């Protein structure tokens, strides 16, 4: 979470993190070693966790505790320093994974939600030397055609300012860059992220603009930023974030949030424009709203270019929630507009055609040009052009759909050209035949190959995961046997079904002998998606929960009868230390509403046994499980 910048972008290349021990805390650490002088030498300079342990081994430093416990103590009193560099731009989807991490954490530590979001006020913002250019510098004519080019600029003044900070160059500072590191709560960071992303909606309020030189997850669409492109995937992700923030505020009740004065100024200006938009009936209200919001965002970025002032405002939870409600209404309107344009299926990508523009001139009446001599323009009217179907948009839409509407969406996707009927798998996109090469390198690939109409395993697994999450269990397991690599025929797949590939050649490829073959074997993002599927299937979405403020645990496995062994059991390691065994004596699907947990038997690490009736492990035993004090849990299904 520390990589969320003040304007909501993540750096392109994160080289790693190093840590330094807080000097006032050093003395307590030295007591954990029998060679404190040697240890002091190691801890007096920055370290990475691996190098620190390696140094302890190389120097034969004897510890009085286990290395893991020592490392936990060290990192608990250390300060993190991000070492990052930027290259070609910012992808617009990097922020969308934050909530997945938070959701996974709260599935195990539900009682920590308030503390996670509000109690800690020590989180910094990453501070990049790259700035996003305003429209007045990046909207240009190239060979007579309007384009968005030169979106980023490295700020020489910012580079010099950061270099003078003596070790604090990676964090946003107060005093407009010359003061202390600015720190805040996780909720404040998430809210600022939501606000910035909301202010980056495209001219028709549908997608999030590719305003910083790069597209989203599918980087083969790398031409779209130049075509004023936007993406619906991030709109759905923003809706999920807005819902999460609203839920957190409602759980808190009353309260106030401290925000930088620059952020509250942006918030109130966006809220004002949003209210004006909702009451307006003029034909150009979409453009007028977009133009005003862009100006507000650009003014905000200019005000924090070198750093924050440091002053803060207090904003009531009621004001924050009012804004979030209005924002979600606007997002829903944009989503519905996009669905209407695309026959009810979520589009993923938009390009915007410029219908009217004017050349910008300086005070002498000469036309303005960028550093490459291209005329700079002001755009006065756009028309959106939606691209063919991409599976990524369906993935994100599934995340915010209710079960009933998710079923309808699933059927539409299954009936669309995204579904490869020959392979019974899902393609990354529909045919792009006839589209200009300007949209990106995707047009350089033969259909069915690489990022053009292939079975791109990562996004297919992302889609399957969302089908599972939304509760379409029968649909999920229908696809499970045809889309997951372990079930494929090795003769067709062309390699061991124990290894993933970046992509499989789809039936869109002209060479039928390649259909279903996997290429570029590696641990791709599909591996992470499969682990998420596995976690949901084995334990359920949120195994730990609170009941009357007491921690409880319940297992809600999502398993079909055919996955059980011959002895009617299936087992796995829960939290990496507790063996959980499901006993399904009558071999029913565990997600069948008639399948209930009859009882639970727990065996602790010290040999004791405890039998429980029903499906809930109450306090204090749930805490014991989480802390690794329970060796085995037998769950009996009926």
If one counts the domains in the chain, the total is 4
Q: Is the pLDDT of residue 157 over 90?
A: yes
Note whether residue 11 is domain-resident: no
Q: Give the model confidence (pLDDT) of 305-359 as tens digits.
A: 999 999 999 999 999 999 999 999 999 999 999 999 999 999 999 999 999 999 9
**Mean pLDDT across the chain:** 93
Note whether residue 628 is domain-resident: yes
134 and 92, same domain (yes or no): yes
Exposed / middle / buried, residue 132 (Cβ in 10 Å: 0-12, 13-18, 19+): buried
Q: What pLDDT shows up at residue 523?
A: 79
Place of tokens 């028309």: 383
Of the three residues 60, 76, 92, the one that is the final residue of a domain is: 76
In terms of pLDDT, which residue wins out, 7 or 594? 594
Q: For residue 300, give the 3-state DSSP assignment.
A: helix
Tokens of 351: 């390009």
Q: Is the pLDDT of residue 231 over 70?
A: yes
Cα–Cα distances in angstroms (integers) from residue 371 to residues 140, 213, 263, 349, in the given order: 11, 16, 31, 29
Q: State the greatest distance between any 2 C-alpha atoms of the chain, in Å, as a whole number.
A: 88
Tokens of 118: 């509000």
Residue range 587-591: mean pLDDT, rounded:
95
Non-local (6+) Cβ contacts of 341 within 8 A are 347, 384, 386
279 and 372, same domain (yes or no): yes
By C-alpha distance, which of 479, 437, 373 is closest to 226? 437
Q: Give the model confidence (pLDDT) of 454-486 as tens digits.
A: 999 999 999 999 999 999 999 999 999 999 999
Note whether residue 1 is domain-resident: no
420 and 441, same domain (yes or no): yes
Pairing verdict, β 569-574 and 78-85:
unpaired
Give the side-chain half-sphere CA count within 13 A for 499. 13
Q: What is the pTM of this model?
A: 0.92
d(Cα 197, Cα 194) in Å, to the nearest integer?
5
Note whether residue 618 is domain-resident: yes
Q: What pLDDT shows up at residue 2?
A: 37
Q: What pLDDT shows up at residue 358?
A: 97
CB contact burial 142-163 (16+ within 10 A = b; e otherwise): eeeebbbbbbbeebeebeebbe
373 and 402, same domain (yes or no): no
Check if the beta carbon of residue 413 is closer than 8 Å to that of residue 385: no
608 and 560, same domain (yes or no): yes
Q: What pLDDT shows up at residue 26?
A: 86
Q: What pLDDT shows up at residue 3?
A: 41
Q: For residue 444, give the 3-state DSSP assignment.
A: helix
pLDDT level of residue 402 (50, 70, 90 thresholds) = confident
Check if the beta carbon of residue 158 is closer than 8 Å to that of residue 131: yes
108 and 199, same domain (yes or no): yes
d(Cα 423, Cα 434) in Å, to the nearest integer?
25
70 and 88, same domain (yes or no): no
Note whether residue 2 is domain-resident: no
Note whether residue 15 is domain-resident: no
Q: What pLDDT shows up at residue 167?
A: 63
Strands, sheet with 597-604, edge to edge from the N-terminal-most edge strand: 569-574, 578-584, 630-637, 597-604, 609-613
Range of weakest confidence among 153-162, 164-173, 548-557: 164-173
d(Cα 424, Cα 507) in Å, to the nearest integer?
10
Q: For residue 611, give the 3-state DSSP assignment.
A: strand
232 and 141, same domain (yes or no): yes
Strands, sheet with 616-617, edge to edge from the N-terminal-most edge strand: 544-547, 550-554, 616-617
376 and 412, same domain (yes or no): no
Note whether residue 6 is domain-resident: no
d(Cα 623, Cα 429) in Å, to the nearest integer?
46
Check if the beta carbon of residue 413 is closer than 8 Å to that of residue 419: yes
Check if the beta carbon of residue 146 is closer than 8 Å to that of residue 139: yes
Residue range 52-78: mean pLDDT, rounded:
91
Q: What pLDDT shows up at residue 81?
A: 76
φ, ψ of residue 629 in degrees (nearest 5): -90, -5
Neighbours of 547 (CB within 10 A): 12
Note whether residue 92 is domain-resident: yes
Residue ranges in 401-498 assigned as alpha helix (H): 403-415, 457-469, 473-483, 490-493
d(Cα 140, Cα 593) in Å, to the nearest integer?
59
Q: Give the model confidence (pLDDT) of 93-117 as tens digits.
A: 989 999 999 999 999 999 999 999 9
Of the three residues 353, 386, 419, the one that is the final residue of a domain is: 386
Give the DSSP H or E segment for 190: helix 186-198
Pairing verdict, β 130-132 and 208-209:
unpaired
195 and 122, same domain (yes or no): yes
pLDDT level of residue 88 (50, 70, 90 thresholds) = low
| Percent of the chain at pLDDT exceeding 90 | 84
Domain enclosing residue 480, as ranges? 391-533
pLDDT level of residue 220 (50, 70, 90 thresholds) = very high
Of the three residues 386, 407, 429, the one that is the final residue of a domain is: 386
Check if the beta carbon of residue 387 is closer than 8 Å to that of residue 352: no
Residue range 547-562: mean pLDDT, rounded:
97
Check if the beta carbon of residue 126 is closer than 8 Å to that of residue 132: no
462 and 527, same domain (yes or no): yes
CB contact burial 299-324 (16+ within 10 A = b; e otherwise): ebbebbebbbeeebbebebebbbebb
pLDDT level of residue 8 (50, 70, 90 thresholds) = very low
Q: Is the pLDDT of residue 84 over 80?
A: no
Residue range 153-168: mean pLDDT, rounded:
87
49 and 193, same domain (yes or no): no
| Percent of the chain at pLDDT exceeding 70 | 96
Q: What pLDDT shows up at residue 16?
A: 66
Residue ranges in 434-496 assigned as alpha helix (H): 457-469, 473-483, 490-493
Exposed / middle / buried, residue 57 (Cβ in 10 Å: 0-12, 13-18, 19+): exposed
Q: What pLDDT shows up at residue 87?
A: 64
Q: Give the model confidence (pLDDT) of 252-289 as tens digits.
A: 999 999 999 999 999 999 999 999 999 998 889 999 99
d(Cα 446, Cα 515) in Å, to the nearest integer?
13
């Amino acid at each position: 979470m520390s990589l969320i910048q003040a304007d909501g972008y993540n750096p392109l290349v994160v080289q790693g993190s190093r840590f330094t021990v807080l000097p006032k805390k050093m003395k307590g650490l030295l007591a954990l070693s029998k060679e404190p002088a040697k240890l002091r030498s190691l801890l007096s300079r920055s370290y990475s966790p691996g190098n620190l342990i390696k140094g302890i081994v190389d120097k034969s430093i004897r510890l009085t505790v286990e290395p893991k416990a020592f490392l936990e103590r060290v990192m608990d009193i250390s300060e993190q320093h991000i070492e990052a560099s930027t290259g070609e731009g910012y992808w617009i989807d990097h922020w969308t994974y934050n909530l997945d991490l938070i959701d996974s954490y709260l599935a195990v530590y539900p009682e920590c939600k308030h503390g996670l979001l509000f109690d800690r006020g020590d989180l910094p913002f990453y501070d990049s030397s790259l700035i996003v250019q305003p429209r007045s510098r990046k909207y240009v004519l190239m060979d007579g055609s309007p384009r968005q080019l030169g979106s980023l600029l490295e700020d020489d003044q910012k580079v010099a300012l950061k270099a003078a900070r003596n070790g604090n160059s990676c964090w946003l500072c107060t005093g407009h860059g010359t003061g202390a590191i600015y720190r805040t709560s996780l909720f404040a960071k998430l809210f600022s992220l939501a606000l910035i992303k909301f202010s980056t909606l495209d001219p028709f309020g549908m997608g999030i603009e590719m305003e910083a030189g790069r597209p989203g997850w599918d980087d083969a669409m790398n031409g779209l930023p130049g075509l004023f492109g936007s993406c619906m995937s991030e709109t759905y992700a923003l809706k999920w974030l807005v819902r999460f923030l609203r839920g957190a505020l409602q759980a808190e009740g009353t309260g106030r949030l401290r925000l930088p004065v620059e952020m509250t100024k942006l918030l109130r200006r966006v809220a004002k424009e949003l209210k004006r938009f909702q009451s307006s009936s003029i034909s150009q209200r979409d453009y007028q709203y977009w133009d005003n919001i862009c100006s507000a965002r650009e003014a905000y970025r200019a005000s924090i270019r070198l750093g924050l002032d440091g002053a803060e405002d207090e904003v009531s939870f009621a004001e924050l929630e009012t804004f979030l409600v209005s924002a979600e209404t606007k997002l829903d309107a944009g989503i519905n507009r996009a669905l209407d344009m695309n026959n009810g299926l979520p589009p993923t990508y938009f390009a915007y055609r410029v219908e009217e523009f004017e050349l910008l001139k300086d005070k002498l009446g000469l036309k303005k040009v960028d550093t490459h001599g291209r005329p700079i323009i002001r755009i006065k009217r756009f028309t959106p052009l939606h691209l063919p179907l991409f599976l990524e948009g369906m993935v994100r839409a599934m995340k915010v759909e209710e079960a009933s509407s998710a079923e309808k969406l699933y059927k539409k996707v299954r009936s669309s050209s995204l579904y490869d009927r020959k392979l019974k798998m899902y393609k990354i996109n529909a045919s792009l035949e006839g589209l200009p090469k300007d949209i990106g390198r995707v047009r350089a690939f033969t259909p069915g190959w690489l990022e053009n109409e292939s079975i791109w395993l990562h996004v297919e697994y992302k889609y399957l995961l969302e089908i599972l999450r939304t509760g379409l269990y029968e649909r999920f397991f229908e696809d499970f046997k045809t889309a997951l690599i372990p079930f494929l025929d090795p003769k067709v797949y062309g390699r061991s079904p124990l290894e993933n590939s970046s992509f499989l050649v789809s039936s869109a490829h002209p060479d039928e002998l390649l259909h279903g073959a996997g290429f570029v074997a590696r641990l791709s993002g599909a591996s992470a998606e499969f682990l998420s599927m596995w976690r949901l299937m084995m334990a359920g979405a949120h195994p730990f929960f609170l009941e009357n403020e007491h921690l409880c645990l319940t297992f809600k496995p999502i398993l079909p009868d055919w996955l059980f062994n011959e002895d009617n059991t299936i087992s796995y390691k829960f939290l990496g230390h507790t063996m959980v065994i499901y006993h399904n004596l009558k071999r029913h699907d565990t997600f069948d509403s008639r399948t209930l947990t009859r009882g639970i038997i727990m065996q602790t690490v010290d040999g004791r046994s405890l039998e429980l009736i029903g499906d809930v492990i109450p306090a204090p035993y749930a805490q014991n499980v989480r802390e690794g004090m329970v060796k085995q849990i037998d769950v009996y299904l009926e």
